[in-house]
Amino acid sequence: MAEVYDIIQELASNNSRNFKIELLEKHVHNNVLKTVIHKALDPFTQFYIRKIPKYEPTGHGCIMQAMKELFLLESRQVTGNAGIEHLTQILNNLSPKNAKVIELIIAKDLKCGVSTATVNAVWPSLIAEYPVMLASKMENKTLDKMTWPAYVQLKLDGMRFNAIVRDNKVEFRSRNGKEINLLGHLEEDFKQMAGEFMDVVFDGELVVAGDDGLLDRQTGNGILNKAVKGTLSESEAAQVRAVVWDYIPYAYFIDGICPMPYSERIDRIINTSEKVQCIHTYDVENIDEANELFQKFLDQGEEGIMLKSRQHIWENKRSKNLIKFKAELDCDLRVVGYQGGTGKFQDMLGALICESEDGQLKVNVGSGFNDEDRKKLTKESVEGKVITVKYNARIQSKNGDESLFLPIFVEVREDKDQADHIKDIK
């Protein structure tokens, strides 16, 4: 039986989703591989260690046993220095290849471009879906169903997050369940916000403060991506701010539906400090008032607004009662190829070859990169990742493929492991 490390490397060698599915199907009865993938991708399995300690992999231990021993980290039975020592012993007892696999599990990233949807196509329901309520795009058929009066909130330009307060502990997660390590910052604020309502999930946006207000999206999210990768500095963590717009009891969050109307949920969110605030909410009586606020914010240089029904329940789905107003179109695509630059960009990035999650839309993105991006975004660092792309329209390319007109790179989405499907790209 092939070693799991070698299978992962083979998966990383080809960015075609069909290739990955065929390879996984070839190893569908490999329970070691299946367990590795589950531990690495399951959003509800966390190890609370991001930095791999120094170790010497000179053993011949069983990788299945090693994964069982990770339970002490998952359950927080060992933490801090004791947790690091426990992980060091696990790694020392393995062969170099198996130790590398454990490193990937701890990082919650197999670095081979395999998404949850791809895995579940081979092993149905192996990876649990991390709950998230998404907004619908602004369309007349959706607006016609909005109930008035309604709420308008500014659409923020940061990183979507959850603060999960359970058993007097706080975890920060990205929209796909990845840990966001803020080095202990903001935890006391969210304990205070939860108050007597313990076991609560708060939904909102993380932004980063500079000397003269909030940092721009690219700079701020560059810092927040470090929190996902576990490389955030103490000084950077101190700059992070949270804006909160929803409150969901944890049990309802796990069930995927909360019947409490939004007007009651948002009333339970309090301002705890200048670092953690409830989003400002405007009452609007009709679509004209909503459009007036939308234009006002655009004139101020903001991205757009969110229109929300006062009565809408929280659901783990794309809600018709939550509508996103934006002046620009954007989408999230998976990088499946890399083109080197020419001329002044020799030995640097030229363009990224991207696809929708289902592979039905394909486009080359060669604009939007600054010189630092072109040096930093290497083939190894970006292939398989999800990026955000701005564009003017969805079109058909010369060979008949669905594509985008004037695509512009915005940022790498370290907080996402799944791109948009073509049905969600307008």
pLDDT band at 190 (very low <50, low <70, confident <90, very high): very high
Shared domain check, 249 and 186:
yes
Shared domain check, 285 and 231:
yes
Instruction: Report the pLDDT value the prediction gives residue 16, as an integer from 0 to 100.
Output: 86
For 309-346, write each residue's pLDDT tens digit: 999 999 999 999 999 998 888 999 999 999 999 988 99
- Mean pLDDT across the chain, nearest whole number? 94
Instruction: Report the pLDDT value the prediction gives residue 397, as an integer from 0 to 100.
Output: 78
pTM passes above 0.85: yes
Domain count, the chain: 3
For 130-152, write each residue's pLDDT tens digit: 999 999 989 889 999 999 999 99
The answer, yes or no, to whether residue 279 has pLDDT greater than 70, is yes
Average pLDDT over residues 238-255: 97
Please indicate, yes or no, if residue 15 is contained in any of the structural domains: yes
For 64-102, write each residue's pLDDT tens digit: 999 999 999 999 899 999 999 999 999 999 999 999 999
CA distance 90 to 59: 10
Shared domain check, 270 and 168:
yes
- CATH number of residue 279's parent domain: 3.30.470.30
Q: What is the DSSP letter of 414?
A: T
Among residues 76, 92, 122, which one ends one of the domains? 122
Please indicate, yes or no, if residue 127 is contained in any of the structural domains: no
Please indicate, yes or no, if residue 228 is contained in any of the structural domains: yes
Shared domain check, 155 and 293:
yes
Shared domain check, 77 and 179:
no
Shared domain check, 287 and 175:
yes
Shared domain check, 271 and 175:
yes
Token pair belonging to 419: 């791109």
Look at residues 255, 279, 253, 257 and name the one whose alpha carbon lies nearest to residue 267.
Answer: 279
Count of all residues that appear for the chain in the document: 426
Look at residues 42, 36, 8, 38 and name the one whose alpha carbon lies nearest to residue 23.
Answer: 8
Q: 154 pairs with which residues across the strands?
A: 305
Among residues 67, 92, 122, which one ends one of the domains? 122
- The range of the structural domain enclosing residue 270 comes to 134-326
For 5-57, write each residue's pLDDT tens digit: 999 999 999 988 899 999 999 999 999 999 999 999 999 999 999 789 999 99
- CATH number of residue 384's parent domain: 2.40.50.140
Q: 330 pairs with which residues across the strands?
A: 390
Shared domain check, 46 and 13:
yes
Instruction: Report the pLDDT value the prediction gives residue 42, as an integer from 0 to 100.
Output: 96
Instruction: Report the pLDDT value the prediction gives residue 218, as an integer from 0 to 100.
Output: 87
Please indicate, yes or no, if residue 212 is contained in any of the structural domains: yes
Least confident of 223-227, 244-248, 263-267, 342-346: 342-346
Instruction: Report the pLDDT value the prediction gives residue 17, as an integer from 0 to 100.
Output: 87
Shared domain check, 312 and 397:
no
Shared domain check, 179 and 194:
yes
CA distance 41 to 50: 15
Among residues 305, 326, 347, which one ends one of the domains? 326
Under 8 Å CB-to-CB from 320, ≥6 apart: which residues? 136, 142, 145
DSSP 325-382: EESSEEEEEEEEEEEEB-GGGBTSEEEEEEE-TTS-BEEEE-BS--HHHHHH--HHHH
Least confident of 60-69, 77-86, 191-200, 358-367: 191-200
pLDDT band at 198 (very low <50, low <70, confident <90, very high): confident
Average pLDDT over residues 113-129: 93
Shared domain check, 140 and 267:
yes
Please indicate, yes or no, if residue 129 is contained in any of the structural domains: no
The answer, yes or no, to whether residue 158 has pLDDT greater than 90, is yes
Please indicate, yes or no, if residue 403 is contained in any of the structural domains: yes
Shared domain check, 315 and 382:
no
